[in-house]
Amino acid sequence: MLKIKPLLILTVLIFYLQGIDASLPISKQARITDASSVSEVELQASGLFYSDKKMAWRKRRDVKKNGVAYAINDAKKAAFYYLLYSGTDPLLSNEEEKEKFAGIKEIFFRDETISRWISDSEDIPDKKVLLKRGTGVKVSITLKINREELRKYLELESILEKRQTIFEKIGYPQIMVISRSDMTTSTNQITEGKKQNHAASVIESSLSAKGYDVIVPTQKQFLQQLNQKQFTVSGHSQDMSYELAQSIGCDIYIQVEIAESQSDYNTKKIAATLKAYESSTARLLGAETGYSKARIGEEHVSIEEALLEAINNILNRINTYWKADLEKGLRYKVVVKLEDIQDKKERELVKDQLVDSIEELSVYYKENIVTDKTVSYIIWCNVDQYKSGRNVWRKLREAYQEKAINTEISLLNQNRKLIISSISNVD
Q: Tell me, what's the pLDDT at 157?
A: 92
Q: Tell me, what's the pLDDT at 22?
A: 67
Q: Would you say the C-alpha torsion 166, 168, 169, 172 has a positive or negative sign?
A: positive
Query: Smallest Cα–Cα separation from 218: which of 245, 239, 197?
Result: 197
pLDDT in tens, 54-75: 899 999 999 999 999 999 999 9
pLDDT in tens, 326-367: 777 888 889 999 888 888 888 899 999 999 999 999 998 988
How big is the CA angle at 264 (ends 261 and 267), to the nearest 5 degrees?
A: 60
Give the C-alpha separation, 292 to 262, whole Å.
12
- For residues 6 and 14, the answer to whether their CB atoms sit within 8 Å is no
- For residues 48 and 136, the answer to whether their CB atoms sit within 8 Å is yes
Q: Would you say the C-alpha torsion 241, 246, 249, 253 has a positive or negative sign?
A: positive
The low-confidence residues of the chain, meaning pLDDT below 70, are 1-22, 164-172, 180-193, 217-249, 427
Q: Is 361 exposed, middle or buried (0-12, 13-18, 19+ CB in 10 A)?
A: buried
Give the C-alpha separation, 361 to 365, whole Å.
10
Q: Is 249 exposed, middle or buried (0-12, 13-18, 19+ CB in 10 A)?
A: middle
Q: Tell me, what's the pLDDT at 121?
A: 84
Half-sphere exposure of 294 (CA within 13 A, CB side): 8
Outline where DSSP puts E strands in 203-309. 213-215, 252-262, 268-278, 283-291
Q: Tell me, what's the pLDDT at 221?
A: 44
